[in-house]
Amino acid sequence: MKRFIYRSCFFALIPLVFFGVNMGVNYLIYTGSSEPIPKSNILIAGDSHPQHSLNPKYFHDAQNISQSAEPYVLTYWKLKKIVQSSIPDTLIIGLAPHNISQFNDLKFSKQPWASEMFSRSYPIEEFSDISDKISVDFPSYYKVLWKQTAFYPKSNHIPYAGGYENVEGSYITDIADAVKRHYYLNGELLGVSDLALEYLDSIVSLAHAKDITLIMVSNPVHEQYLNKIPDRIMEKFDELIDVYSNEHLVFDKTRSYYPDSLYLNADHLNEFGAKRFTMEFIDYLNMVKEK
């Protein structure tokens, strides 16, 4: 009987060692990586708004690293990683009303957001800095970490990089769903996220510390969606626009009119809308330079 137990323990130990070694190797790879993305003079970062509205091909030497549903916490973590080895001249980040809503606080605790955020952030996470402020689903995080690192060594650990994405269609049928997702939870109105404000300030401070020119942008949203944004969110958003405009360039087109043909859905531009918005933004930058 003892021999059977010893043999069982020995064979059980083999996969544990295998998984442990792989996790250790992958940890060394992603913590020791010195150049997570190629260097660009202009970095475009944020969530699906800049991901769909700013096409880097119209800039000179720009890279869009935005990802859908990305909260400022994750944007800050990945920028902090990137500037360790590559400092851009200019950082363009999205600043829209939904970015400061408390629904962003749910993205590390509520599925399906949490698993996706964990899959992107495991190489750069700093959960110890936020776990006392918002709920973090640690069991799901460790499950994702195991899936991402336990099976074999991976040379690429930059799931947070992102990129420009868009299509030419227009499907403006999700206005009520988008408003509900961004500003309500179980029918209750959400407020402004203190954590989002804190990490937005952290992004601003990081850019200042690294002598990076910071520009904030907000693309137009459909009029019907705009009219349903809660007053408390819009009031805080307008306050932020005023404050940041004192020291940084802010290109706020939230309330600008674009025809339906330029929208992908309630709050995102399609390929044609992105071209117009990007070119308007570039014109704005050129005008600023001439002053």
Check: CB of residue 219 under 8 Å from CB of residue 253.
yes
Give the tens place of pLDDT for each residue, 44-91: 999 999 999 999 999 999 999 999 999 999 999 999 999 998 999 999
Domains and their CATH numbers in the chain? 2-290 (3.40.50.1110)
Q: For residue range 202-252, what is the model confidence (pLDDT) as tens digits?
A: 999 999 999 999 999 999 999 999 999 999 999 999 999 999 999 999 999
Query: What is the mean pLDDT of the segment spanning 174-192?
Result: 97
Residue 269, both tokens: 């531009």
CA distances from 83 to 35, 51, 89, 256 (A): 9, 20, 11, 33
pLDDT, residue 152, reads 86
Show the tokens assigned to 100.
């400061």
| Run of H or E including 224 | helix 223-226
Distance CA 66, CA 207 (A): 17
pLDDT band at 12 (very low <50, low <70, confident <90, very high): low
pLDDT of residue 82: 94
- Whether the per-residue pLDDT at 10 is higher than 60: the answer is no
